[in-house]
Structure 1
Amino acid sequence: MAIFSQSTIDKGSDIFQDFLCSTCEDKKLDNTADFYCESCVKFYCGTCIGMHSQLFTKHAPFGREDMKKWPVTKKVEDFLLKCDVHKEENLNMFCDKHSVLCCTNCAFLNHRNCPKVTLISDIIKSKSTNLKQMLVSIQTILEEIKKLQDYQEASIQYVQSSYDEQLQNIQETRRKINASLDMIEQKTLNEMKDTLTKLKASSKSDIDKCIGLRNELKQLRDAIQDISDKSKLELSFIANRKCKDKIQQSETFLKENSRQVRVSITFQPNSEIVQYISNQSGLGRIEHRTQTLMVFTGQGKSVLNVTQSNEWFNSNMIAICVLLDGQVLVADWFNKNVRLLDQQYQVVSHCSVTTWPWDMCQVTPSEVAVTVDDHPNTHEVQFITVKNRKLMTGRKLQIQHTIQGIASHQGDLYITSRTSLYKYTMRGKQVSKMYEVNQVVKQVKLIVDYLDMIKNTLIN
């Protein structure tokens, strides 16, 4: 029997590959097979099948359109037959009690006391299998697993985004602590500077007093020397009296300042601050929250009032977006704003947009894109970020046509007008016009718009 190459059943699997031409394989060539001959039990490529047909005119090979008539490949057989526990053994039994496939070793070691261990060759005589239903079940499970994988990948992005956001909070906390320490340091420096100024002023006053007394005493000394030999009795009396007064004043000043002290400034650190900081394990607590996302079903309904007290018009919630952490954003058409609801559906933040919003989609775990349009003037995509339960408006993309719907996929934006679907980059560059309704529908739409315009004119 030929050793068959692999089929193209599933290109995503490592065990399935394409069938190769048997003749070419003998020549060490890897050419894909296009035919299988049941009589020869061989595969042939498009070139070799010609020679085969000339030699074996009565053989009826099956082409790829009849691949269901091609044999099961050896690798597929090995994949299905090999025991998961005993790799060298084939599965040939089934334990009815435990509903498990067994090889000879499994049956002897683990199921010899089971009441019914049957050969698979005997079971298939009485039981049929529905592989098509199995394929449907596998496909369903694959889709569910893919959804879970996509969610977990989105969860990784979300937790990374929350990490980056909290990293900024930590850095901001550090900046605030630094600013507080800078302020305390400046106050301490100012206090020490004031102390220095006061001490220097006190010493400067004494110095000025010393200079003043010395100058006056010198003047009196010089004056006495000048009149001592000139018999000026009146001047001598006055000089004598002034000298006594100034000497007494000087002696009093010297007595008051007889203790010569040297003043210095010292700093005694606040040990409580140093000790408090050194005892802290960090700038704050690191926590993580695990939340179960809500699944909306059609069984029952709840009416939520998200109108704000200062609104003149009733709210018209035209779009909604649920973030991974359970926060909900709603776009209000009448009041031209977007609101953030917490898990209890209470409005915790809101922000205005340029004009009437039409649709909204999530572009990152904490950012949404909102289409705003008041044809023919404004056509914009407004980006809004959710941070610390607050909404912050970001950049805007100016669009050159009417916009309504919006969706995000793999880093691109998909935007609809009334009649077309466009693909844009996140920076606002139009990639392509992907779809447009036919001209008849467009004409009908123009007529409807025209009638609406006439009706509005008549009403006004």
Structure 2
Amino acid sequence: MEVPGKKLQARPSAADTTYCQPCEQDDEILPAEAFCTVCKEFFCSKCASLHRKQKISRSHNLLDKSNMPTYIVGHEDNHGYTEPCKTHPEESIKYFCSAHQTLICGHCAVQNHRSCHADVISDISKAFKDDQEYGDVIKTIARLFEDIDLCASDVKKNVDVVAKLGKNEVYKLRRYREEVNKYFEVREQELLKLIEKTKHMDEELLESLKPKYTNLKSKLEEINVKLSAEENNIIQLFIETKKAKKLLGGLQNDLADIKKDNVIHHYEFRKDPTTERLIASDTGLGTLENIVTEPHKIASASESDHGIKGLTVQGDGTRENLGISRPTVGQATVDLTILRFTSAMVIPMTSPTDNKDCHLSSMLNLTGSRLLIADSNNNKVKVVDMQTNSLVSQISVPGQPWDICLLPRDRVAVTMTLSGVQFLATGGQLAIGDHFEVDGDCRGIAYHKERLIVSFKYGKVAVLNMNGHVIGQIERDSNGKELFQCPIYLTLVCEESTDFIYISDTSRDTITKLDMNLNIIKTFQEPSLKGPRSITALGDQLLISGYRSNNIMILDLSTGQMTLTGKKEGIGKPLFAYCFPQQGKLLVTEVFNNSLKVFNTIA
């Protein structure tokens, strides 16, 4: 193979010599000392040095004289072979190994493919353009171009989605922060007003006492003057002394009344445990939740006015859901059926201002260890601290309180039998709020999405708005038959993301399940349960007090089975049963009992 860059045949003595191609263009004949594998040119030593210095070619690979080829790839004698072999750069690819599907040069064929069948490319490529393989490659290229364009379009869309997503979530976060700020501003103003109101009451009281003790002191000074004036007249002194003695008894009584009235409110601001936990939390306000989304669907995620579906900030939502914990079927909780109860203690529930024996008709756990209890006989709502096991405060209400439900923003709603529904603030000290009247003897109560579900003693269940207006009610079936006889307690349970109402009918010994449209779904009855009263939910189980059967029943909502408990523990005529799982306790109130019974729970 004697193929120089351009071989000069004019000098036979130089037949095997390769010359510098750039110099040859200038009719200067110089022997080649190097070969550029990129430019495919031979260079003399001077041209090679210049080639190495030029910016455009300084990175090119130059082969020295001992390693450079003896011909230039691409010469007319090479039959169109222009692709150098990667393994042997001085050789051109001329063959195709069908066994390895590999392009090879002559050196490769000898060294690595001796046992293979290698075709000469110039022979097999003549009709290649009409072959299916070439057509498939062209089609694949076209499809790949389309796919790349689609991918580029998706990337562009995702750029817009990323921008909108960040903007929308920041908007939601800041909007929620504004709601939180507003909530705390309202709470601060409420507390400030309460402090100011209490302070004003105490100031008015003390101001009213000033003229009383001033007048008392004046009368006393008058008596003292009269006695001093008659010191030299024994007879008159005797008379004045006897008169003074009678007056002093009245003055002492007046002073005792002043001392009795001289009672001010001692109060202090206490930090809310829930707020304290929020401040200490690393996830306060909310978290950013990653949603797994298929890559090809990201760009087409549906958008709302102020947010994109699929990515949510935890805690973002309507204020009505804050602070409301509704038992959910299936959530991890204690299994009440395996618990055994041992009597631990009783907490006295009477106070010096009570006029009657207690009738503890309802219980509700507030934040921390506080327990709210309705005392219908004494027209009071009382607060028990389960850490100290003591009655810590109370508030008088304008009627007989029966049942209590939790509302958003540290409030509760209390049914007042014949006096409607009373709202109380529970953030600090209990405080009287708004009130509305209802038609009938209202008993059980629950809260659901700015609505109150209320049961009435004489057979009615109604849904009211927060102002007391009736939205819907159920009393009789289509045949005019009474559906309930005495439904005095109810509770709300979420089953597989659907809310249901459970009602105890103490006269018919039944537990009835209703949907939120007040349609009856199912009725449960068990011979061992008589006179069901309170009904509270814990996970997928209902805790039911059997007033006439002197027991506690557990209704498993997943199976519909009822299990008896509590009778052996000495529970008699229970009014209300409440499980306090945080402390492993069962709390029970009984008729004609001025105490709250506390049972330890043992698995």
TM-score, normalised via structure 1 length: 0.37
Higher relative contact order (CA 8 A, sep 6+): 2
TM-score, normalised via structure 2 length: 0.30
Greater strand percent: which structure? 2
